[in-house]
Copies of this chain bind each other. A is one copy, B any other.
Amino acid sequence: MADKFMSMKNLKFTLFSRKGKYPSDTPDYLNDHTPKTIDMIFKAAAELAKKTMHPMFEEMDRNPPSLKNGQVHVHEGVKPMLETLGKDGWIAAGFPEKWDGENMPSSLLLCINFIFATANYSASVYAGLTMGAAKLILSFGSKQVQDTYIPPMLSGKWQGTMALTEPEAGTSLGDLCVEAIPIGKGQYKINGEKIFISAGDHDGVENVIHLMLARIKGAPAGAKGISLFVVPKLRPGDNGSLIENDVIVTQLFHKLGYRGAPITGLRMGEKDNCIGWLVGKEHKGLSYMFQMMNNARLEVGMGATAIATSAYHAALDYCRTRLQGRKITDPKDSIPIPIIQHPDVKRMLLFQRAVVEGSLSLILQCGMYEDILACDPANKDCHLLLEILTPVAKTYPSEMGILSTSSAIQCFGGYGYCDDFPVEQHFRDMRIHTIHEGTTGIQGLDLLGRKVVMEKGRALILLKQEMEESIKTAKHHKNLDGMAQDMAEAMTILEKTTMVLGTLAREKGVEAYLADASLYLEMFGILVIAWQWLIMADAASHALKNKNSNKKDTLFYNGKIHVADYFFSHELPKMKGLSETLTNKTKVTLDMPDDCFT
């Protein structure tokens, strides 16, 4: 297995290339964190990832969780890993000091998650889920619920989950039907079934705490009748004891990848003895969940980015060392060359790097908006920018990550198809991300149906301003003139396409407007990633002017600009075909009669 699964240099470069502030400065939104403290944090995370998570990357896949006598058993390394993550403060890092946390900015938490997930995606999700669940409790739970659950969760002793999906309600959350019957004191009897619950049960922890959506008996139908509950596997009894709470594991899903983490089905209240605690107000569950969803979607994008990054580094390592063939212009009897020297192999590596580094940059852009908002919750512009970029930050890395990991396999040839190398696992681990936390179809509807039109299109206007600012800055570097021009042209394509769709909405209605929303998202994503590459090319060009750069730095910055060139010459032109499809007045995806499918 390749030793290197990420580039620390690139992570720091990307983090510091936001907003015209260049490597030596620290952006304001990172609070008190200096490049030096950040360096220490990242190094510690990488050390932990390398020692604790990476060694079980394959093992966790080859020996997936098992269900025996109602208990899910996971890899024996999960328990000590969670203990360490708790003890060393990684799970609590983003929480206030009151909870022994450090109020760490979202940007840095995303970077840490990235480091962990490049080492072992499955291993990284356990703590991530706990953080998300604890955050929900912190935001909306009563003091009693907070005091009961947050400390053991942040210590790594208790697992947190997000329990949304039901057998008949996946994408369509308004149709949820797990029932909650009030029994007083903010307590409810819970009854029903959930499926696809990540880390829904396992023996690496003492207890599992489900943040569960359910419908209080008599609540309104649809999304407006859903409430949020804490439903523990074991509920706290007297004197610190823990009592079985009638939550049964009904099944363990056998998955294509992401096998190191157990995904379970759950049955609550079979013996009418499952108790849940209401979190926040009645019927507000879905809105609470969605307040956390933005960050959850960024984390999904980051997970996808991390997996593809790891695959890229494995492929790069192989392409540098594997000798095969010779250049077309070489004599036929010359010795074989490292395959990285073949242009088609270079193309595949450039593609992977363009995808993974562009994705990383976008997610850190969103992290920045989250952090600015955390300092200044009234910053409406920042909120709108985060809203419009989130579906892209979730989807681009996930969709393109499938192609990127596939391209990593291709670099290995036949070996890539075999489990002697890690890339076939990366390819499998990747495939979940276009599905969980809202499918690509849902993200498309969210972008075009809600985010583009909200507040009379203000989010799109703000994004355009951000992009224009980046173009303006980039123009200071002569070598970026072409890119800046292409970027401006691409923005026009987006604008025109959006206008045509707006007209279509008025003339033919909302269904026609949204018929190809996924493709709109795809096109939008290409533009947004081009913008990120412009930002990075700008930062790299700036850094190259520093006469003190050593040779390694110079190669890195030049490489950045080359990859940006690749993105602009090979990826950005795809917008044209997509725009043509989207502005086509015939909506074949709407018009095709169901019974014509055969």
Query: Which residues does A use to contact B, with CB under 8 Å?
Result: 7, 9-10, 165, 168-172, 174-175, 195-196, 221-222, 253-258, 316, 320, 323-329, 332-333, 336, 338, 340-347, 349-350, 353, 402, 406, 409-410, 413-414, 416-420, 424, 427-428, 431-432, 434-436, 439-441, 444-445, 449, 509-511, 514-519, 555-556, 558-559, 562-563, 565-566, 569-570, 573-578, 580-581, 584, 586-598
Contacts and interface: CB of A to CB of B under 8 A. Distances in A.
B256 A417 contact: yes
Closest 8 CB pairs of A and B: A559-B596, A573-B577, A344-B441, A573-B580, A256-B424, A347-B589, A172-B325, A574-B577
Contacts of A165: 414
Given A171-B324, A332-B222, A424-B256, A581 B569 contact: yes
Contacts of A168: 323-324, 336
Contacts of A342: 441
A598 to B, nearest CB: 5
Contacts of A345: 441
A512 to B, nearest CB: 9
B256 A410 contact: no
A418 B254 contact: yes
10 contacts: A165-B414, A170-B324, A253-B417, A320-B594, A328-B510, A347-B519, A349-B597, A350-B592, A410-B435, A410-B441
Given A328-B511, A589-B344, A336 B581 contact: no
Name the residue in A174, A255, A327, A596 with the highest tally of chain B Cβ atoms < 10 Å from its Cβ.
A596
Majority secondary structure, A binding face: helix
A569 B591 CA distance: 13
Contacts of A338: 594
A577 B530 CA distance: 15
B580 A576 contact: yes
Contact of A340 (B175, B432, B510, B597): B597
Contact of A414 (B170, B329, B416, B428): B170
A255 B420 CA distance: 9
A333 B222 contact: yes
A552 to B, nearest CB: 9
Given A350-B588, A566-B589, A413 B439 contact: yes
A340 B255 contact: no
Contact of A406 (B222, B257, B402): B402
A342 B514 CA distance: 10
A172 B324 contact: yes
Contacts of A594: 320, 338, 340-341, 346
Contacts of A427: 256, 431
Given A7-B598, A435-B410, A518-B347, A562 B581 contact: no
Nearest to A561: B596
Contact of A514 (B10, B343, B578): B343
Contacts of A441: 342, 344-345, 410
B566 A588 contact: yes
Contacts of A596: 555-556, 558-559, 562
